[in-house]
Chains A and B, each alone.
Chain A
Amino acid sequence: MIIDHPLLGPRDAAEFVILGDASLINRPDPEAADAEERFYEYVYLRDNPAGLHRELWYHEQGDRSWLVVTRNTLTHEIAKVELARGIAVNLASASKKKAGRKGGSA
């Protein structure tokens, strides 16, 4: 497999290690009332789809960036490659906005 790195261009997948489902970016809030249940689901349960799957790849033998790779698990075809950092930053600011609307603070 060739992963088209957004900064470095096409790279052999062998340069990377995989962590798994990209939903792992969404770490549950440890202060939440149902944190125990949510962490159980977060750590252990997976959708494991046959088809498009978003997953975290780490460019260990390269620039050490984390990528979110959207890949078809039936064909190994890669549809999209993004920097995980951008996605995580967007997620964080989205959840901050949501918290702000509710009148809470971080």
Chain B
Amino acid sequence: MRYSALSILSQALSGNTGWKPVWREPDPKEHYDVIVVGGGGHGLSTAYYLAKEFGVTKVAVVEKGWLGSGNIGRNTTIIRSNYLLPGNEPFYELSMKLWEGLEQDFNYNAMVSQRGIVNLFHSDSQRDAYARRGNAMVMAGADAELLDEDGVRRLCPFLDFDNARFPIRGGLVQKRGGTARHDAVAWGYARGADSRGVDIIQNCEVTGFDIKNGVCKGVVTSKGRIKADKVAVCVAGSSSRVMAAAGMRLPIESHVLQAFVSEGLKPVLPGVITFGAGHFYISQSDKGGLVFGGDIDGYNTYAQRGNLPVVEDVCEGGMAVMPMIGRARLLRMWGGVMDMSMDGSPFIDKTDINGLYFNGGWCYGGFKATPASGYCYAHLIARGEPHPVATEFRLDRFRRGHIIDEKGAGAQPNLH
């Protein structure tokens, strides 16, 4: 069923009794052209673009839990393309362009809201770094604007401009950045894939691979073996565990990132604000809650919860930049496990095992990548070669010395 003003009106008149489930619940078939492991945002968008753009429709998405149970349903929903390095920026800008047309493309309301993002700076050197980043963005076809202190004051008068330690001197703005409704992104892609014949198989964990003589011929799951010509893994925080079943060691550590939501307030924040001196970012949801977060906890973990020192650290960051946050009550908080890669950048690549593909290492920035990640992964799987904007996301880049170290933090995943 396509959603339209007319379909909503006719449902309203018939008491909303005619809505159908948005995707089927099929049993696994014996064989698929492509099995996508992991029904998060990236897995679902990969299946969607495989079917829609590349004509591969004998596809299954195999998910160990329920759709949206992973990081796609846990993140703070910020979308932006304000990267610096040539290996990254064109990729994230493609993602931004896909976000801009997403809802029309998959006929689903993902609440994509380009309310703008401002990265604050607090010193001359930081201003220079942001000016450079802004220029790199513009050169890659994105939008960027450098504001001075008065410009930021007009936008967000409530910030602590005269903070003795970190006075605000200005900010880099990307007006096309913003937020999207994370769950709806998963649901929209799932519906779009399902309606093109993709089987979405939930509650089905992949426990191993069918690998013979260096060729992957399918997966072993909690619902039995399923054969496939190609197997495409994208399991976010579980990458090391899943790829270990294929005998691979990855340049990845699993770390937790926490998120926080306050009670609902009247609209106070114009868009997304990030603190340039500490790690703190904040936006306001359409329901009014302040949604914010900061650093990862910084040590290996698979527990989907964080620890208190980082809660304190995030709240201190919030108080330093935006003291009025101290008046809001915290409603809830949670953690999600992410693949922190050694240079902070992701992977979209073939592996040395024929027919086995890997997508991961998104660290804490993979939500904004959801459309381009799926698109480029589908391109690689269907065509056998990387999409032009994703050529650097190779697994062997560390061996070759071609790391994409956006933050300049070296091989220290807990610093990215």
Asked if A79 lies at the interface with its beta carbon under 8 angstroms from chain B, I say: no
Pair B301/A13 contact, Cβ less than 8 Å? no
The CA of A44 and the CA of B251, in the complex, are separated in Å by 5
What's the tally of chain B residues with a CB closer than 8 Å to chain A? 24
Q: Which of A13, A20, A46, A53 contacts B309 (CB 8 A)?
A: A13
Q: Nearest Cβ in chain B — how far from A37, in angstroms?
A: 8
Q: Is the CB of A50 within 8 A of B302?
A: yes
Q: Is the CB of B249 within 8 A of A46?
A: yes
Cross-chain contact B298 with A46 (CB below 8 angstroms): no
Q: When each residue 379-416 of chain B gets 1 if its CB lies under 8 Å from chain A and 0 otherwise, what string results?
A: 00000000000000000001100000000000111100
Cβ–Cβ contact B414 & A20, under 8 A: yes
Query: Taking A46-B252, A46-B253 as contacts, is the C-beta distance between A73 and B303 under 8 angstroms?
Result: yes
Chain A residues with Cβ under 8 A from B253's Cβ? 20-21, 46, 48
Contact across chains for B250 and A45 when beta carbons are under 8 A apart? yes
Cβ–Cβ < 8 Å partners of B249 in chain A: 41, 45-47
Contact (Cβ within 8 A) A48 B298: no
Closest CB in chain A relative to B359 CB, distance in Å: 17
Partner of B254, one of A14, A45, A71, A73: A73
Residues on B with beta carbons closer than 8 Å to the beta carbon of A49 = 240
Give chain B nearest CB distance to A17 CB in angstroms.
8
> What 1/0 flags go to A75-91 for Cβ under 8 Å of B?
11000000000000000
- B357 to chain A minimum Cβ distance, whole angstroms, is 19
A74 to B414, CA, bound (A): 18
Asked whether A75 and B251 contact (CB < 8 A) given A44-B398, A44-B411, A46-B240, the answer is no
Chain B residue numbers with a CB within 8 Å of A50 are: 241, 254, 302
Q: Is A1 an interface residue (CB 8 A)?
A: yes
Residues of B within 8 A of A40 (CB): 398-399
- CB neighbours (8 Å) of B399 from chain A are 40, 44
- Contact flags (1/0) for A17-36 with B, using CB distance below 8 Å? 01011000000000000000
| Distance from A66 Cβ to chain B, minimum over Cβ atoms (Å) | 15
A18 to B301, CA, bound (A): 13
- The CA-CA distance from A70 to B227 in the complex, in Å, is 39
Q: Does B125 contact A (CB under 8 A)?
A: no
Report Cα–Cα, A50/B241, bound state, in Å: 7
A13 contacts B307, C-beta separation under 8 Å:
yes
Known: A46-B249, A71-B299. 5 other contacts (CB 8 A): A12-B309, A20-B253, A44-B398, A48-B241, A55-B300
Residues on A close to B: CB < 8 A?
1, 12-14, 18, 20-21, 40-41, 43-50, 53, 55, 71, 73-76
24 A/B residue pairs, CB under 8 Å, sorted by A: A1-B307, A13-B307, A14-B309, A20-B300, A21-B300, A40-B399, A43-B411, A44-B251, A44-B342, A44-B399, A44-B411, A45-B250, A46-B249, A46-B252, A46-B253, A48-B240, A48-B252, A48-B253, A48-B254, A48-B300, A50-B302, A73-B254, A73-B303, A74-B302
